[in-house]
């Protein structure tokens, strides 16, 4: 009865160590690329926000300074040392969206407010008087952040005016509430944050996909390498143990020595076939080797394989059958079918293993205990065994059949036992 080996049960439920390390490396690469992208976006976002803030602050200063300069040019001093603001009252900039205040100092040395537009947007009189003193002392325009009479934030400029040969002085205030600019700035910051998060997410997805794509072939090759090592260890353990027993030093008569040498040579041949088959599969699956395709006689190939079992009870019936394939691989597949039938048919020593070849099919029947119905759908799966070996021989048969475009099947035989069949497609018709 063929059952699932414990080794296969364990390996099928857990990831191979190297493959697991490759997966961890993939996640590490994804995390590293995402972290680098995040840091770069944060730096760029901060730089962009700082540059934008400075640009917006400069725009506010330019706007209020332009109004203050325009209003200053509209103020004149008449011959009686009296400030003339008639042009200011009709000046567009002095009556626009920017608050304007003109403060003058007459010959008597007293300061007074001469003109005001949107006065509530500017600081209170006591605060404004302090700014006036600072502007007169600086003899140049000064910019200040403050609060208006309602407690709202305001950005203003105070521009002093002087006339030669006159004690009359004036200061022009222009101010605006930067709330509008602050809203635009907040929109930019939120745009940078949301856009940065989306870019980080896209970067993580792209990094994970690209790292997985780049590692896929490597993972397959590593996985196949580990499978090869595991398969070789399973398949070679039994013959190596048997070889150690056969060649164990002890007193032997000539007949025992000769029989030991024959058994040792048979075990060596079996190990060679196992390694050759596993290497061929590993090389072809990794793309380092191609299958040989030649036209051959399947019946003659089967007969030559049967001759390699001189001590087995094998009955063969063949009919001429031409196929196209790799002689070495097909010979290995037929040999594995025979070894499986001989092994499982050994419970009935008197019953032969029957081989039939015709029409591109090689059928091998044993008279063993038969096929477990629960495993009849996957007898060629790696790890499905009868308790001896690892089932790699039949797995190689299925792989070789698939490689040639054929199929490998196994079904219960009438009267007991099983029939394993290797079916190959007919050769292409020559033109």
Residue 151 banded pLDDT, cuts 50, 70, 90: confident
Domain boundaries, the chain: 76-177, 291-423
In CATH terms, 76-177 corresponds, of 3.30.310, 3.40.1440, 3.40.50, 3.30.450, to: 3.30.450
Residue 421 scores a pLDDT above 90: yes
Task: For residues 316-335, give the mean pLDDT.
Answer: 90
pLDDT for position 413: 86
Please identify which residue in the block is written with the tokens 């008197």: 350
Instruction: Specify the fold of 291-423.
Output: Heat Shock Protein 90 (3.30.565)
Please identify which residue in the block is written with the tokens 């603001």: 85
Cα–Cα dist 211/28, whole Å: 10
Residue 13 banded pLDDT, cuts 50, 70, 90: very low
Residue 376 banded pLDDT, cuts 50, 70, 90: low
Residue 1 scores a pLDDT above 50: no
Residue 88 banded pLDDT, cuts 50, 70, 90: confident
Give the SS3 label for residue 141. coil
Cα–Cα dist 171/316, whole Å: 120
177 against 397, higher pLDDT:
397
pLDDT for position 390: 45
Residue 349 banded pLDDT, cuts 50, 70, 90: low
**pLDDT (tens digit per residue) in 168-222:** 899 999 998 766 656 777 787 888 889 889 999 999 999 888 888 877 777 776 6
Pairing verdict, β 142-147 and 153-162: antiparallel
Residue 314 scores a pLDDT above 80: yes
């Amino acid at each position: 009865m063929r059952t699932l080996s414990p080794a296969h049960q364990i390996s099928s439920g857990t990831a191979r160590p190297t493959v697991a390390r490759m997966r961890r490396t993939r996640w590490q690469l994804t995390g590293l690329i995402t972290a680098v992208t995040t840091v770069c976006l944060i730096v760029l976002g901060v730089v962009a926000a700082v540059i934008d803030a400075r640009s917006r602050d400069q725009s506010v200063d330019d706007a209020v300074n332009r109004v203050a300069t325009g209003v200053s040019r509209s103020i004149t001093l008449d011959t009686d040392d009296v400030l003339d603001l008639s042009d200011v009252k009709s000046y567009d900039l002095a009556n626009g969206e920017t608050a304007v205040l003109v403060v003058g100092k007459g010959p008597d040395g007293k300061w007074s407010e001469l003109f005001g537009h949107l006065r509530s947007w500017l600081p209170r009189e006591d605060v404004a008087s302090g700014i006036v003193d600072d502007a007169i002392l600086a003899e140049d325009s000064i910019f200040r952040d403050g609060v208006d009479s309602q407690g709202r934030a305001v950005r203003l400029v105070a521009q002093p005016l002087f006339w030669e040969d006159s004690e009359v002085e004036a200061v022009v205030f222009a101010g605006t509430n930067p709330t509008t600019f602050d809203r635009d700035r907040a929109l930019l910051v939120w745009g940078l944050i949301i856009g940065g998060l989306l870019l980080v997410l896209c970067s993580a997805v792209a990094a994970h996909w690209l790292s997985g794509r780049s590692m896929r072939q490597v993972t397959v090759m590593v996985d196949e390498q580990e499978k090869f090592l595991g398969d070789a260890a399973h398949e070679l353990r039994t013959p190596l143990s048997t070889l150690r027993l056969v060649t164990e030093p002890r007193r032997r008569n000539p007949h025992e020595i000769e029989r030991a040498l024959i058994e040792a040579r048979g075990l060596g041949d079996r190990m060679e076939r196992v390694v050759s088959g596993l290497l061929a599969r590993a090389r072809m699956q990794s793309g380092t080797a191609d299958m040989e395709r030649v036209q051959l006689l399947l019946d003659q190939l089967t007969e030559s394989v049967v001759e390699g079992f001189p001590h087995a009870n094998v009955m063969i019936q063949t009919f001429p059958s031409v196929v196209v394939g790799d002689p070495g691989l097909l010979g290995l597949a037929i040999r594995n079918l025979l070894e499986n039938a001989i092994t499982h048919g050994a419970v009935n020593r008197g019953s032969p293993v029957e081989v039939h070849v015709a029409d591109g099919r090689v059928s091998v029947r044993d008279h063993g205990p038969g096929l477990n119905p629960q495993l009849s759908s996957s007898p060629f799966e790696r790890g499905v065994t009868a308790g001896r070996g690892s089932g790699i021989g039949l797995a190689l048969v299925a792989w070789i059949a698939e490689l040639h475009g054929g199929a490998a099947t196994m079904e219960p035989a009438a009267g007991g036992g099983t029939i394993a069949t290797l079916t190959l497609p007919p050769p292409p018709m020559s033109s």
